Amino acid sequence: KQEVTQIPAALSVPEGENLVLNCSFTDSAIYNLQWFRQDPGKGLTSLLLIQSSQREQTSGRLNASLDKSSGRSTLYIAASQPGDSATYLCAGTYGGATNKLIFGTGTLLAVQP
């Protein structure tokens, strides 16, 4: 069964700190992995997409890595800001007949000013 888990479930850090969010997936036959941000009661904002042939992607203060062999992805946020406070979700796509995203349970991040 294809499952995605995220650790930790919640994280609180002071402003300016660098932090790492973790995502693990059980099936290494992944097509891509996306990281999303969700503000309370809102939709999802796509942050980064890593294709299966790639090892990492960067956008501004965000860097995401993908290690298929170990079934892990990490999202690194540099110099965190209060505006980064949100729930971060990772999701894997396995393609084929389904092409659906399988989501992790999310990490709730609070950046304290």
Candidates 2, 28, 51, 59: give the one binding another protein (CB under 8 A). Answer: 51
Query: What is the spatial distance between Cα 24 and Cα 73, in angstroms, rounded to a whole number?
Result: 6
Q: Is 32 near another protein (CB under 8 A)?
A: yes
Residue with tokens 């891509």: 32
12: Cβ contacts below 8 Å, ≥ 6 apart: 109, 110, 111, 112
Nearest to 7 by CA among 112, 110, 104: 104
Candidates 89, 90, 109, 111: give the one binding another protein (CB under 8 A). Answer: 89
Q: Is 91 near another protein (CB under 8 A)?
A: yes
Query: To the nearest whole angstrom, how small is the minimum distance from the Cβ of residue 82 to another protein?
Result: 22
Under rule CB under 8 A, which residues in 54-73 are in contact with another protein? none
Query: What is the spatial distance between Cα 80 and Cα 13, in angstroms, rounded to a whole number?
Result: 8
Which residues sit at the interface with another protein, rule CB under 8 A?
A: 31-32, 34, 36, 41-46, 49, 51-52, 89, 91, 93-106
